[in-house]
Amino acid sequence: MAEEEEEDAAPPPPPPAGIYAEERGLFQLLQNMLEELLIHKPDDPIEFMINHLKQNNDDAPRICVLGPPASGKTTVAMWLCKHFNAIRVSQETLLFKEVLMQTEEAKAYKERNQATVAALTPKPRAGSLRSLGQCHWIWKIPNALWANLIQERLSNVDCIKQGWILEGFPENQEQAWMLQSSGIFPRHVVMLYAPDTVLIERSGGKRLDPLTQEVFHTTFDWPSDPLVQQRLVKPEDLSEQEVSKKLLEYHRNFPDIFHIYQKVLKSINADQPSVDVLSKVLAFVQTRHRSAAPFTPRILFLGPPGSGKSLQAALIAQKYDVINLCCGQLLKEAVADNTKLGELIKPYIDSGCPVPDKLVLKLLTARLSALDCLSKGWVLSGFPRDVEQGKQLQKAQINPNRVFFFHLPHESIMERLSQRRTDPVTGERYHITFRPAPTPEIQARLRQNPRDEEENIEKRLDIYYSNVKALEDFYQDAFYVNADQDPYVIFEFIESCIIKPLPYKKH
């Protein structure tokens, strides 16, 4: 007996190696390093990996923002840079704001082509963008030189540590292949699109702030600051004819680019308010792509009575062979098995009083530390009921990697629970509306569990709603489930959240 008491008082064991590695991202880190080794093929792999770890850049954004003229690439790229504190890289920044080894070679093309451009282009108006020296010649630079400029810029320390947003590049298949051959692989490619008529209309009202490089529009996005208004210039090369030519070239090249980046690309409609565009872009670039890293599900279902947690837990357990644990059922099993812990729990179960957190936590810790839970994973419902219990789980090193809150209107909860009935002869469960008894004889002998009386349901709901806000704040990365829909629709949503990595969020 004394030995058993000592065992009960012992602290929980340390987390297994798999959980430790998963929580600290070691599997993903090793996968990233292996990818970098295969891409760069360094002569000294050990030294290369040491430098890779020192750079600590695995969470840095690597994003391409592509799209036709006037689709909003610059606006999206600059906004992403501010949000992630990343480095914006575009054709203009490479040629006019950077001092790179390849810059002089690129500018030599300017000198050789300037006479031709001047002969083919009307004289610019005063205050136009062409008067600042940015003209058609930038499009004449060879693809290989562009790729070299980008590779040189992205290899700088600021891009490695802070991440980069590559705007408007690549424009064609050859450029994309050159980036890949240089070891440049974006994690996310944002492809903006809009009808050509909209893009041509936008181009006519486009204005550029030469000081900040921000893009405005005479109709849709006019700056409120008079000083900014005065210095805005109209890009000279954005005539309707010129835009039409660029759109034609873009549509020719788009299918090849889409094919190359289709696994990391998302098309976003740019013909909507900028706030909506930026919201969709941010939601996409914060997603993480599925990896080959091992993953053991540790799932927590939280929600009011009658929200369908038990059904979804059973479906998940059946499909993914994880251990289905209901806190209330665990307590009853401990009592039925006459374990030492069960003897302590029995008086509370018999009297209908809540079982103390300390006893519940001992039971859960022992069950979740079992080999089947550690190797297969688990789905837990019915605990924690308040934030203090959640903290106790965390202290006991029971940390779910997916948390779901089920939301259901009050009327639906009452309808689901108050109309439940049980056949005392067979133990079969029925529902007055959704699953009525098949015969009048069975219907006559049905009984209602006292817990399902409306007064008792209201009490349980009051307890849940008084604690749920603090629990939602505690589990900040939780997913929210609309439980007032078909169970298999709910299951598909939950399943998609389990198999996908958690989104990356800026801290």
My answer on whether omega of the bond before 297 falls inside 30° of 0, hence cis, is no
Look at residue 135 in the predicted model and tell me its pLDDT: 44
173-201 b/e (C-beta count within 10 Å ≥ 16 → b): ebbbebbbebebebbbbbbbbbebeebbb
Q: Please write the tens of the pLDDT for every residue from 22-64.
A: 777 777 777 778 877 887 788 888 888 887 777 666 678 999 9
Question: What is residue 480's three-state secondary structure?
Answer: strand
Look at residue 471 in the predicted model and tell me its pLDDT: 94
Is the CB of residue 100 less than 8 Å from the CB of residue 146?
Answer: no
Please provide the CATH number assigned to the domain covering 58-121+138-285. 3.40.50.300
Q: Give the closest residue to 291 by CA, choosing from 502, 23, 39, 507.
A: 502
Report the C-alpha gap between 66 and 72 in whole angstroms.
9
Report the C-alpha gap between 11 and 13 in whole angstroms.
6
Look at residue 198 in the predicted model and tell me its pLDDT: 86
**3-state per-residue secondary structure call for 150-168:** HHHHHCCHHHHHHCEEEEC
CATH architecture of the domain covering 298-499: 3-Layer(aba) Sandwich (3.40)
Query: Cα 261 to chain center, whole Å?
Result: 19
Report the C-alpha gap between 401 and 499 in whole angstroms.
11
Q: Give the pair of three-digit tokens for residue 506.
A: 């800026």
Is the CB of residue 139 less than 8 Å from the CB of residue 37?
Answer: no
Do 58-121+138-285 and 298-499 agree at the fold level?
A: yes
Report the C-alpha gap between 194 and 69 in whole angstroms.
10
User: Does this model's pTM top 0.85?
Assistant: no
Return averaged pLDDT per consecutive 10 residues of the chain, 507 residues in all.
43 60 74 80 86 72 92 91 91 76 66 56 48 45 85 87 91 90 89 90 75 71 77 70 85 91 92 90 84 80 92 92 89 85 85 84 87 89 90 87 93 90 89 88 89 88 92 92 92 89 63
Q: Give the pair of three-digit tokens for residue 67.
A: 């799209």
Is the CB of residue 427 less than 8 Å from the CB of residue 402?
Answer: no
Domain ranges of the chain: 58-121+138-285, 298-499
Look at residue 237 in the predicted model and tell me its pLDDT: 56
Q: What is the largest CA-CA distance in the chain?
A: 100
